[in-house]
Amino acid sequence: MRWKLLLLLGLAALLAALQYRLWFGGGGNLQGAELQARVDQQRRQNEGLEQRNAALAAEVADLKSGEAAIEERARSELGMIKPGETFYRVVDQERGNGSREDAPRSRGHE
């Protein structure tokens, strides 16, 4: 009868050791869940960067393909106008005088 008790205690200890290793040991469930969370975070970051790269590639293609994109960029970023065009600046009274928000709304027409 004593050997049955020892066998039962030995099996219980083995089960406890295996459970500990399963939950807390190297490659266990907790470590696997942490690794999966890191993979998911990296996947989301990669998707955002892929979208950004696609937008930049489209912009580069536009700039290489013709003058329209370059002209639009010169107009919006540098405030350039063509010879013979009239520049109109529309100031919003609610925003105040001389602030950066008083940017031109209409660039004129040909």
Residue 58, in any domain of the structure = yes
Per-residue tens of pLDDT for the chain, all 110 residues: 888 888 899 999 988 888 777 667 666 677 788 899 999 999 999 999 999 999 999 888 877 887 877 888 888 888 888 888 887 888 888 865 555 544 555 454 44
With residues binned 3-state (H G I as helix, E B as strand, rest as coil), the percentages for the chain, rounded to 5, are 70, 0, 30
Residue 59, in any domain of the structure = yes
Q: Are 59 and 70 in contact (CB under 8 A)?
A: no
Burial of 109 (C-beta count, 10 Å sphere; 0-12/13-18/19+)? exposed
Residue 20, in any domain of the structure = no
The domain of 47 spans 39-76
Q: Evaluate if pTM is beyond 0.85.
A: no
